Structure 1
Amino acid sequence: MSFLERFFLGDDEKTATNTAYMGIEEDSAVLFPVPNLSPVADSIVHRCSRILMLSIDQLHQSFEAEVPEHWRQPKDYARNLVEYCSYKALRIEAKRLDHLDDKEFSLLTFDMMLAWEAPDTDTESLLKEKVCSSNPESEDDDDDEGSLFYESATRTASQIDGKKTVGLEAFARIAPACAAVADPITVHNLFDALTSCSGGRLHYLIYDKYLKSLYKLLQSMKNVSGKSNNYKFNLTDGEIILDSDTKSVMQHNGTSTKPGRLTLTSHALYFEASGIASYDKAVKYDLSKDLRQVVKRELTGPWGARLFDKAVMYKSDSVAEPIFLEFSQFSGHSHRDYWFSIIQEVLNAHKFIRKYKLKRFQKEEALSKAILGIFRYRAVKNPFHSTPSHFKSILAFNLAEKLPKGDKILEALYSHLELMQMEFQNHAGLLAISEEMPLVGPLPDSLYALTRMGFLLLRKEDNPANDILVGNVHVGKTCPLQTAVRESFCYSNSVEAARATFYQVKVEDINTNLAVIKDLLFPLSEMGKLLQFLASWEDPFKSRVFLFSILFLLYRGWIWYTMPCIFFSLALCMFWHKHHNIGKPAEVFRVSPPPSRSAVELLSMLQDGVSQLQTNVQTGTIALLKLRALLLAFPQTTPHVAASLVIVAVAFSMAPFRYLLALVLLEVYTRRMPLRKPSSEKLERRVKEWWSRIPAAPIQIANPEYNNSR
């Protein structure tokens, strides 16, 4: 062990780390019947056998009996065996109240991740080569970067012994087995938060620091919930305090402003105004009821001026006017964003409960997921100073609302809760078995994890006599919930790529936006001018020719083929651009800037009405640039759009127009009827998600002397 590693590790950490490194060599001395098993995987199998109090042969026979044959193929045999043994052992280890604070537990789970990543000798050698090539050691680079002691201890420690790190897939397979450690919905984002300063590989020191931080936070919040008499409100059965802010939170209610203490629980938001010696009676904002509640970020300032982005607005049917909660912070708005996220998480969790009409264990399980997610958020935010981005939230219900196809995640979660309810009703024991997707080695879920840690979400008469053990992990295969999350994340990559183009084409000046729209609509404006010219009869000959042409088309019945011809022309144009522009960068759209304005004119544009108009114009600009990108066949969805236009053209050519018109009117008129409302909302969401992942065509503002000729 190097000097730097001993410098950052305390005495306990040194002993435990040495035990982890030496344990593999000691356990690997015992032979195991599976050939080509890596030393760390062999060590995990032996350690799991000791935890389960089974011999190696008994554990191996159990694996052969419980795991289906197609999961015991030679290609994945070692990895599935590691998963099976790990899930079985963690099922026992997670029952201990202090397992998160136990060094042996953190070492065991981390070694399980190492064993999953390198289950056999061939995979281990390939992984070593990959890690060595991605982390080259160079003393010259260290000299150029400066002294390591000027960087954070976490980052420096993560650079020591880089081979003892795990990747995303290993963390995502093992960590959700313990409900307190990670959730299958947000496990990928949690890994990104933990490895933000370690190059995408998780070091043991960071992982152990995260578990200890989470354990201390859980113990602290359990003590806070047990001393609820310090607050000026009474908690209902199963209500848990999630966080409390005593730092000069200002509540703006109309013209009145009061400082006080803000407390968030699993059911409500409480504000206690500051009194002379203590806090006044709390005002409760119930988040569990269907009161058409809205929570969003808001600007505040003195005398109603919207200057500082540090407030959260709460509006519902229970309050006469919106309530503004201002969080004092000298710089930035990260503290406000944190509170906004956790309030929204509780609100979304109860929205999910009401949507699927969850009762008893299902309801408490959904709340437990939200509670543990908030605790994980706090455990990562405080020690690691990590703030998630748009699609990187580690709050499950917030993430499902943000991600494209997030409703599929919630549907998969509801199916999991239904499976849990069936097991309670049928008294089938501890295993939840399905013919389509068998569950091998189920582990404790969120409700059971919180209950074991001392958080009582259920009343004593509702607590089952036996342990609640319904798992959402599968040996050799991802569960439906993880499959839905993976599909949604793949879809969100296109949305993120398209979102990056928005910031490149957004123009703050409203005059410049109008100039962009004018240039984009140049062909249509010219066509409109031509029609206006023909309708004005300034040139009688041209007007007569146009009139007789329209009459002839109507007489011959050719007018019905106008739309098919337009769609075919657009589709052919898009296919031609797709073929012509393969491998070429997107053509930059140049715009002539408008004339400059005086200072007085610019100040007048700061009014709220003009600001709203500016936002609408920006949205219209992006929409037109997206259409330009589709027309020029730059996004990947262009062939699908062109094919759709061909299908629509065929429909217009085969069916009478009056029938199509009747169908369109029928579709629009019956869209909001109760029978079609759910399917219509889903269709609208799919269209919006498809539209959001279309990139905008790039633009460039030309110099004033540039003249764009067409």
Structure 2
Amino acid sequence: MAAVSKTRSMIEGFVRDGSFKWLLKSRNPFHEEFEEMKASPSAENNWIYELSPVANILVRRCSKILKITAAQLQDNFNQEASDAIKDPSCYARNLLEYSCYKALSVSTQVTGYMEDRKFRRLTFDMMLAWELPDAASQPTDTMDIDEGASVGIEAFSRIAPAVPIIADVIVSDYIFEFLTASTGSRLQFSIFDKYLIGLERAVKKLKSQSESSLLSPQRSERGERILEIDGTVTTQPVLQHVGISTWPGRLTLTDHAMYFEALRVVSYDKPTVYELADDLKQIVKPELTGPWGTRLFDKAFLYKSVSLSEAVVMELPELKGHNRRDYWLAVIREVLYSHRFIRKFQITGVQREETLLKTIFGILRIQALKDMMTSATPLSFEAGLMFNACDQLPGGDRILETLATTQICKSGAGTTGSSLGFVFGKSSEVNIVGDVSVGELTPLEKAVKESRSTYKMVANAQAAVDGVKVQGIDTNLAVMKELLFPVTELGNRLVKLFYWEEPVKSLIFCLVFTYAIYRGWFSYVVGLVLVFIAVFIVITRWFSRGKEVDEFRVIAPPPMNTMEQLLAIQNAISQAEELIQDGNILLLKLRGLLLSIFPQASDRFVVALVIMAVFVAVVPMRYVILAVFLEEWTKYSPIRRPSTERWNRRVREWWYSIPAAPVVLEKVNEDKKKK
């Protein structure tokens, strides 16, 4: 009794000192729980001295869910946790995480747990307590436990992934960023509550669709679950394009395939299956559509596989933008990528079901976030889906490898995601829930953290690249000309040396390189040039420390009107066409020589090749290189220039005398059936 009285007197002392004034501002569950703790005869078992007031209340809630006392919960933690996790510097937060994870693993076994506002508030309050775990933590004005309280990204990323349907460690950062886009990177309960309510609606929609008779003959064998349906509203049709035929209909996505049912007068045709689970080399990408084969509207996606004779295009029209298409493209790819992941790492059994559930949960989260999307807070569907995100993140392949290893290493023990009625595998380790672990980062979290760190550098670099882009052909050419000025200047000097415009310098250059090649020093010369460039960079960085980077200045050309720009484009296209024509002529002449279409020219070509082959085979390579260098470098010297000009003229005459191999252009007539 003395200990109980001491504990009660301590709590009353907190109140007198004002330490709990933040709890007493308004009547709320924390206030009620505090009063209950103060009046409880077992006050000693309800208070852990290492924890802050908020953390104490949360641990007490968790102990009630687990049907043990807070002291028993602490004893369990002390027995099960390693010494590193029980280190005094992190003891309070790790004890809190342990309590939260244990309580959440039990709470999520109740059917429809997300319908319960107490569960939603409990999850959010766990995040609040995570930010103030130890007794030394003092609440600030921004941490008042009321409807205006908010949490940061670290608390969200440690608590939310413990409930797999709310978040996973790969995309939790993006979910938080989207939810807090309008609140200064602090998550409020009202927004979090709205998100979980949207998730519950998505779960109910999934269950009702999957339990319906839609596509039952095709789905029954694999137990497919219907994730999305579109095209049932006449104002938002889905149009299927195959060849030149177009049909409106209903588009359905399951966790294994995509189905399209063409609309007839009062019913739908038998569904066409577009497989996503099997290895059919599927390609799903954005596509343009328009009347009579024109490519005007960016509101469709293309599906192609080896099982189809021609690609299928699904158009999802909308008045503005292409969010509808982007959403479908992302969720279809998510299903496709998940099955590729399963095949690549040969995942079977419970682990395969868990992978599919991760895919389903990701799509449900996107559906909930999509309902919250506004013009001010656009939603990136790919960034919010696990497999899509890994496809884009640098090092995403390493994340998937870690995920596969984690999945395979999990035990066969399973829990039930009661709100869905699906089995969801769980590790047998007591300190791991979902993909998070008490007091430490899991290998998957470490891989994600490393990848996101690299992604930030890539994103910053890309932002810098986007910032220096300029518009207009003439302006871009001016920038390129200035950037290449050192290279062109060096090239001009080498050309002068090559044509012996300054004979003394050309002779010195020739002698130096001849000696270097003869002694076998050419590789050292190349290495010396590279070292010189490296030293230049180091010296430049040393002298520019602490100084702002000098902007690259370019004199802008006179502005061009639209007609002048079109003429410049036309001129560029004409020049490109001429280059392509010259290239084709070169290839056709070489074809004629190789196939002896023109025997006289081919005979000379054969003799030249044989002489070169013998020379290369007999003479050491060093002397071959030396001979080639001397031949090329001295041919415009004052002594050899007349003979070089005569030789070049004979070669040109010989080349021009070779006709090109004949070419016949044939037009292929394709008969396409109209349905």
TM-score (norm 1): 0.70
Ranges in structure 1 where 5+ consecutive residues have no aligned partner: 1-16, 133-157, 431-443, 464-468, 614-656, 659-710
What is the CA-CA distance between 1:471 and the residue it aligns to?
4.0
Determine if the alignment matches structure 1 residue 332 to structure 2 residue 324: no
Give the drift of 1:344: 1.3
Does the C-alpha gap of structure 1 residues 582 and 175 become closer, same or farther in structure 2, counting only changes over 3 Å?
same
Aligned-partner Cα distance in 1 for 2:174–2:394: 16
> Offset at 1:19?
5.0
Q: Matched residues in 2 for 1:519 and 1:166: separation? A: 50
- State the shift of 1:193 in Å: 1.6
Q: Which residue, 101, 119, 124 being the options, matches 1:110?
A: 124
Q: 2:181 aligns with which of 160, 172, 196?
A: 196
- The aligned residue for residue 528 of structure 1 is 491
The CA distance in 2 between the partners of 1:547 and 1:384, in whole Å, is 69
The verdict on how the C-alpha distance between 1:27 and 1:303 changes in structure 2, with shifts beyond 3 A counting, is farther
> Would you say 1:383 and 2:397 are equivalent positions?
no
Query: Would you say 1:400 and 2:409 are equivalent positions?
Result: no
Kindly tell me the number of residue pairs found equivalent between the two proteins. 536
* Offset, 1:33: 5.2
Which residue of structure 2 lines up, in the alignment, with residue 480 of structure 1?
Answer: 443
Distance in structure 1 (CA, Å) of the matches to 2:84 and 2:539: 47
Deviation per residue, 1:316-364 (Å, 9 max, x gap): 2222233222211111122211111111111111111111111122222
Equivalents in 1 of 2:193, 2:142: separation in Å? Answer: 24
Alignment partner of 1:101 is 2:115:
yes
- 1:581 aligned partner: 544
Check 1:23–1:488 CA distance in 2 against 1; reply closer, same or farther (3 A cut): farther
Hey, what does 2:29 align to over in structure 1?
20
Name the counterpart of 2:302.
313
CA contact (8 A) 2:105 2:433 kept: no
> Distance between the aligned counterparts of 1:35 and 1:610, measured in 2?
78
Are positions 1:90 and 2:139 aligned together?
A: no
Alpha-carbon spacing, 1:581–1:298, altered in 2? closer, same or farther (3 Å): farther
Q: Any residues of structure 2 matched to 1:641-652 within 5 Å, and which?
A: none
2:164 pairs with one of 160, 167, 179: 179
Tell me the residue number matched to 1:552. 515
Counterpart CA distance in 2 for 1:38 and 1:499 is 44
| Residue pairs, 1:555-634, within 5 angstroms | 555-593=518-556, 599=562, 602-603=565-566
CA deviation vs aligned residue, 1:442-485 (integer Å, no higher than 9, x gap): xx5xxx42xx3345589xxx99xxxxx97432111121111111
Partner deviation per Cα, 1:503-540 (whole Å, 9 max, x = no partner):
22223433433333232222222222232332233444
After superposition, residues 21-170 of structure 1 pair within 5 angstroms as 21-29=30-38, 30-31=43-44, 32=46, 34-125=48-139, 128=140, 161-162=147-148, 164-170=149-155
SS of the residue corresponding to residue 338 of structure 2 reads helix
Residue 311 of structure 1 aligns to a residue whose secondary structure is strand
Q: What RMSD in Å do the two structures reach over aligned CA positions? A: 3.1
Q: Distance in 1 between matches of 2:365 and 2:512?
A: 71
Structure-1 residue corresponding to 2:358:
369
**Match status 1:515 vs 2:478:** yes
CA distance in 2, matches of 1:377, 1:535: 64
Pair 360,470 (structure 1): closer, same or farther in 2 beyond 3 Å: farther
SS of the residue aligned with 2:77?
Answer: helix
State the distance in 2 between where 1:610 and 1:584 align.
44
| C-alpha spacing 1:285/1:457, structure 2 compared with 1 (3 Å) | farther
Partner of 2:337: 348
Cα shift at 1:218: 0.5
| Aligned match for 1:323, one of 312, 318, 330 | 312
Give the AA of the match of 2:447.
A
**Larger Rg belongs to:** 2
Aligned to 2:268: 279
Partner Cα separation in structure 1 for residue 363 and residue 56 of structure 2 = 36
Deviations 1:596-648 (A, max 9, x none): 667556447789x969x9xxxxxxxxxxxxxxxxxxxxxxxxxxxxxxxxxxx
1:489 matched residue in structure 2: 452
How far apart, in 2, do the equivalents of 1:22 and 1:130 lie?
A: 18
1:121 is displaced (CA, Å) by 3.5
**Are 2:392 and 1:411 aligned?**
no
Q: CA shift at 1:129, angstroms?
A: 5.7
The offset of 1:235, in angstroms, is 4.6
| 2:298 counterpart SS class | strand
SS in 1 for 2:384: coil
Flag the 1:596–1:213 CA change in 2: closer, same or farther, 3 A.
closer
Q: Which amino acid aligns with 1:289?
A: D
Displacement, 1:501?
A: 1.4
**Does the 8 Å CA contact 2:48/2:71 hold for their aligned counterparts?**
no
Report the alpha carbon displacement of residue 486 of structure 1 after superposing the two structures with TM: 1.1
Residues 250-292 of structure 1, C-alpha deviation per residue, up to 9 Å, x if partnerless?
A: 2222212222221111111111222111222222111112222
Provide the C-alpha distance between the structure 2 equivalents of 1:214 and 1:516, rounded to a whole number of angstroms: 51
User: Normalised by the size of structure 2, how large is the TM-score?
Assistant: 0.73
Deviation at 1:376, TM superposition (A): 0.5
Q: Residue 594 of structure 2 corresponds to which residue in structure 1?
A: none
Tell me the amino acid that sits aligned with residue 111 of structure 1: D
Cα 1:235–1:606 change in 2 (3 A) is farther
Which residue matches 1:298? 287
Structure 1 522/232 Cα, relative in aligned 2: closer, same or farther at 3 Å? farther
One-letter identity of the residue aligned with 1:291: L
What is residue 690 of structure 1 aligned with on the other side? none
Contact 1:272 1:280 in 2 (8 A): yes
Note if contact 1:20-1:107 (Cα within 8 Å) is conserved in structure 2.
Answer: no
Pick which of 343-352 and 288-297 moved more. 288-297
Report the counterpart of residue 499 of structure 1 in structure 2: 462
Measure, in 2, the Cα distance between the counterparts of 1:582 and 1:527.
Answer: 28
The residue number in structure 1 matching 2:196 is 211
Alpha-carbon offset, residue 26 of structure 1? 3.0
- When structure 1 is superposed on structure 2, of 32-41 and 371-380 the one drifting more is 32-41
